[in-house]
Amino acid sequence: APAMLITLCYLYLWARWGPRSAALVRSTVRRLHRSRCSFTFCARQPHPEERVCLRIGGKVFCTGEAQFLDDLNRWRGLLVSPSPPPEELLPAEHIAFVTESTAAHTEELQRAPDSAKEIVKWSDFCSPLAYKPGEPFQLIAEASVDNFSSLGIAFLEDRLQMEDGMVPHRIVSVHLEKSALKELAKEAPAGEKSAEMDAVTPAGKSGLERAEEDKSKLGEGREHDGTGGGEHHHLHLSSCHECLQLENSTIESVKFASAENIPELPEDCSSSREEKEEENLQKGVQRINLAGKPPNILIYLGSEAAQGRLEQVKSVLRECIDAESYTLYQLHQEGVLREPWVENSLLLLIATEEPIPEGIHRQFMKFLSRGGKILGLSSSFTFGGVQIKPRNKLRRVVHELVVWKKDSSEVKLNLLVSGCVFEEGLKGDGSRVKVLSRLNNAAKDAVMVHLTHGSSGGEAILAQAHLELDSNSMEVQTEEDFNLLKMSNSRRYEVLREVLTCLGLSCEQRAVPELTPIYLLSPDEEIHLAFLKWLEGNVDAEGLRASSKVSLKFVSSWESKVEVTSSLVPVITETGSFSSEHFSLQTYQQHLQTKKLGKILLFTEVTTTTMNLLDG
The predicted-structure confidence for 519-577, as pLDDT tens digits, reads as follows 999 988 888 999 999 988 888 988 888 888 888 988 888 765 678 888 889 999 887 77
If asked whether residues 494 and 351 sit together in one domain, one would say yes
415 and 535: one domain?
Answer: no
The verdict on 361 and 488 lying in the same domain is: yes
pLDDT above 50 for 8: no
121 vs 51: CA distance, rounded Å: 28
- Domain assignment present for 243: no
Which residues, 6 or more positions from 543, have their beta carbon under 8 angstroms from its beta carbon? 553, 554, 555
Q: Are residues 463 and 541 in the same domain?
A: no
Domain boundary residue, one of 127, 158, 184: 184
Kindly state whether residue 133 falls inside one of the protein's structural domains.
yes
pLDDT of 373 > 50? The answer is yes
pLDDT tens sequence across 474-491: 777 788 888 899 999 999
Query: 452: domain CATH number?
Result: 3.40.50.880
Supply the mean pLDDT for the chain.
76
Residue 471 lies in a domain: yes
* One domain, residues 430 and 320: yes
pLDDT at 224: 41
- The 8 Å CB, 24+ separation contacts for 48-51 are 48/338, 49/337, 49/338, 50/338, 51/335, 51/338, 51/339, 51/340
Statement: residue 15 has pLDDT above 60: no
Q: Kindly indicate the confidence band of residue 469, based on its pLDDT and cuts at 50, 70 and 90.
A: confident
311 in the same domain as 418: yes
**Domain check: are 461 and 364 in the same one?**
yes
The helix or strand, by DSSP H or E, that contains position 28, with its residue range, turns out to be helix 21-32
Q: Write down the pLDDT at residue 412.
A: 94
Q: Which tens digits make up the pLDDT trace of 31-42?
A: 887 776 889 999
Task: Look at residue 106 and tell me whether its pLDDT is greater than 60.
Answer: no
pLDDT digits (tens, 9 = 90+) for 184-211: 666 555 444 344 444 443 333 333 344 3
Strands (E), 418-563: 420-422, 433-439, 446-453, 458-463, 518-521, 544-545, 551-555
Instruction: Tell whether 141 and 70 lie within a shared domain.
Output: yes
Cα–Cα dist 387/104, whole Å: 60
Q: Letter for the amino acid at 613?
A: L
In this prediction, residue 422 has a pLDDT band, given cuts at 50, 70 and 90, of very high
Query: Is the domain of 554 the same as that of 468?
Result: no
Distance CA(225)–CA(219), nearest Å, equals 18
DSSP secondary structure, 280-321, as one string: HHHHH-TTS-TT---SEEEEE-TT---HHHHHHHHHHHHHHS
> Are residues 318 and 431 both part of a single domain?
yes
Position 249 in a domain: no
Q: Final residue of a domain: which of 184, 206, 227?
A: 184
Classify burial at 258, counting beta carbons within 10 Å of its beta carbon; exposed 0-12, middle 13-18, buried 19 or more. Answer: buried
Do both 18 and 127 map to the same domain? yes
Q: What percent of the chain has pLDDT over 90?
A: 24
- Per-residue pLDDT band for 276 (boundaries 50, 70, 90) equals very low
CA distances from 553 to 147, 546, 558 (A): 41, 8, 11
**Does 508 fall in a domain?**
no
> Is the Cβ–Cβ distance between 302 and 354 less than 8 Å?
yes
pTM score: 0.46
* pLDDT bucket at 366, cuts 50 / 70 / 90: very high
How many domains are there within the chain? 3
Give the pLDDT mean for 274-303. 56
* 207: in domain: no
Residue 212 lies in a domain: no
Enumerate the β-bridge partners of residue 360: none
Residue 384, classed as helix, strand or coil, is coil
When mean pLDDT is compared across 69-78, 409-418, 563-572, 590-599, the lowest value belongs to 69-78
State which of 478, 503, 528 marks the end of a domain: 503
The strand pair at 347-350 and 327-331 is best described as unpaired
Strands 166-176 and 94-103 turn out to be antiparallel
Residue 334 lies in a domain: yes
Residues 411 and 545 in one domain: no
Condensed to tens digits (0 to 9), the pLDDT of residues 321-361 reads 887 788 888 999 888 988 888 888 899 999 998 999 999 99
- Average pLDDT for 489-497: 93
Q: Domain of 39?
A: 12-80+91-105+118-184
